Amino acid sequence: MDLEDLEPKKETVKLKDFTNWNIEDLEFYIENMEAEILRVKEMIKSKKKASLAADSLFKLK
């Protein structure tokens, strides 16, 4: 096993073509994306909190 195998892969985002979407579908898509952004922000907060706790536990004084 290579250490690179443990690293998360950065994906390139494929842009969607919204040309044929109606207004309701676009608004629904935005609502879902906003909810996903909030979910990701909460995950970031949680990981930062865990990281700070680990840092304080292993920090030499």
**4-33: pLDDT as tens digits:** 667 777 888 899 999 999 999 999 999 999
- What is the average pLDDT score of the chain? 89
CA 30 – CA 36 distance, rounded (Å): 10
DSSP, res 19:
T
| Window from 16-20, 39-43, 56-60 with minimum mean pLDDT | 56-60
Is 46 or 5 the better-scoring residue by pLDDT?
A: 46
Rounded to two decimals, the pTM is: 0.66
CA 34 – CA 36 distance, rounded (Å): 5
Query: In this predicted structure, what is the pLDDT of residue 3?
Result: 66
Within 10 angstroms of residue 31's Cβ, the number of other Cβ atoms is 10
**61: pLDDT strictly greater than 60:** no
